[in-house]
Amino acid sequence: MKDETSVMAYHNMKISGSIGTWHQRILEALQWIHYGTKGQLAEMLDATEEQVHKRLSELAKKGEIIKTKKTRRSVNTGQKQTIWALKGVDINSIN
30-83: pLDDT as tens digits: 999 999 999 999 999 989 999 999 899 999 999 999 999 999 998 888 899 999
Please state, in angstroms and rounded to a whole number, the distance separating the CA atoms of residues 73 and 21. 27
HEC string of 14-78 equals: HHHCHHHHHHHHHHHHHHHHCEECHHHHHHHHCCCHHHHHHHHHHHHHCCCEEEEEEEEECCCCC
Distance of alpha carbon 52 from alpha carbon 58, whole angstroms: 10
Tens of pLDDT along 1-31? Answer: 445 554 444 444 443 444 568 899 999 999 9
pLDDT, position 83: 96
pTM reported for the whole predicted model: 0.76
Are the C-beta atoms of residues 49 and 38 closer than 8 Å to each other? yes
| 41: Cβ contacts below 8 Å, ≥ 6 apart | 26, 29, 30, 47, 52, 56, 84
